[in-house]
Amino acid sequence: MWITRSISRCRNAAIVRRGTTLGRSTLNLRRAMHSRLKTKTKKHLGQHLLVNANMLQSIANAVKNCILAQNTATLEVGDSEAGQSTRQPPRILEIGPGSGNLTETLLQLVRDGVARSLTAVEVDSVMIDALRQRFNDELQSRALIIQQQDVLQFLEDANVASKDYSVIVGNLPYNISSPILFRLMNDNQSRIRWGAAVFMFQKEFADRLTVS
């Protein structure tokens, strides 16, 4: 049995936990995905591909709610309705998109006008190739931007094209969950400005995080 939890950090600092168990049909989908990519997930990169449709939609809904909450808060601090209507939608940053299952769900937010664009940071060249094949149209329209780079280097890269993201989202590898959180929470360790984060952690890490 494999269980994952998501933790959503919005302006009210609420923590949302959601668990799922992979059934036979989901496992079959995962095997088919591996066959199509002609590779297995790389253990040393901590790769786990999200394939449960309900979980994927729940994550996208959490991202959307964080964006809407930020928009509401902006209005409350004095922005006019007219000023809000002329502001471009915010950007989303996805850490470790893998084969693009969550990416596909998040791109619907871009199509719906909730977000301006989605930037996906991935270090694995095989996954990068799969993403480029799967999202060729979105790459051409700049709805999706793929950055091939180690995420820890990306967060510290002063040359990153866009440094402002409304929401950061990702299914984080266990071995770098702590370093990613540390950099994001420490302004001196990250060049990225962000408003909210929706992360999936390995259960053991999530348990330790919520206890502390």
User: Per-residue pLDDT tens for 37-75?
Assistant: 444 655 554 456 777 899 899 999 999 999 999 887 665
Token code pair at residue 34: 């591996």
**Nearest-angstrom CA–CA distance, 88 and 90:** 6
pTM: 0.74
How high is the mean pLDDT of the chain? Answer: 75
pLDDT tens digits for range 125-158: 988 999 999 999 999 999 999 999 999 989 888 6
Residue pair 169/102 in contact by the 8 Å Cβ criterion: yes
pLDDT exceeds cutoff 60 at 167 = yes
Exposed / middle / buried, residue 111 (Cβ in 10 Å: 0-12, 13-18, 19+): exposed
**pLDDT, position 93:** 96
Exposed / middle / buried, residue 54 (Cβ in 10 Å: 0-12, 13-18, 19+): exposed
**pLDDT, position 172:** 85
